[in-house]
Amino acid sequence: MLRPIVKYGTASLQAPAQAVTTFDPSLHALIDDMIETMYAAPGIGLAAPQVGVPLRLCVIDLSSGARGADVIVLANPEFVEREGMQLEEEGCLSVPGFQATCPRPARVVVKGQGRDGQDVVVEGTGLFARALQHEIDHLDGRLFLDRLRSLQRDLIVRKIRKMQRQDRW
């Protein structure tokens, strides 16, 4: 089932999410909905707070469904290692229409739990490292806008506020 993706300005995007504690059929239904919603957008990552659910859960698929088996489900992800720095354009399904060059670590190692609560460790460089950091930020109530220089961030926020006033957001 597709779930609506909430946009910048929604409270669930700005609050830290809570740990996933129960890996039951309702969590599996949420995971399946998130994957379907990510592919439909289309996007390469989606965090539960983006569909209004305040849980530490995200899905990532750099192919956005093109290769099928590549989706990664991460509950309660935590950084084990973070190193280096990369600068690339970044966007977010909750901030549609805006992209900005955002600093991120070049390589990360993340541990968390999979769909059934099993321990998983993933290592990422390049775009995958960026996606992992972006989604974990969502679980901490942070958007890529918060990683930009304030001048750059303010410019985008001003444009969004104007669209909100005109009912176009």
Binding interface with Ni ion (CB under 5 A): 92
Nearest distance in Å: CB 68, Ni ion: 22
Largest interatomic CA distance in the chain? 46
Residue whose Cβ sits closest to Ni ion:
92
How far are the Cα atoms of 17, 38, 97, 148, 160 from residue 155, in angstroms, in the given order?
27, 27, 13, 11, 9
Q: What is the 3-state secondary structure (H, E, C) of the chain?
A: CCCCCCCCCCHHHCCCCECCCCCCHHHHHHHHHHHHHHHHCCCCEEEHHHHCCCECEEEECCCCCCCCCCCEEEEEEEEEEEECCEEEEECCCCCCCCCEEEEECCEEEEEEECCCCCEEEEEEEHHHHHHHHHHHHHHCCCCHHHHCCHHHHHHHHHHHHHHHHCCCC
Beta carbon nearer to Ni ion, 23 or 153? 153
135 is catalytic: yes
Nearest distance in Å: CB 137, Ni ion: 8
The encoded tokens of residue 76 equal 């309660």
Nearest distance in Å: CB 134, Ni ion: 6
Catalytic residue among 81, 83, 89, 135: 135
Nearest distance in Å: CB 23, Ni ion: 24
Beta carbon nearer to Ni ion, 17 or 92? 92
Beta carbon nearer to Ni ion, 60 or 92? 92
Beta carbon nearer to Ni ion, 20 or 60? 60
Tell me the catalytic residues. 135
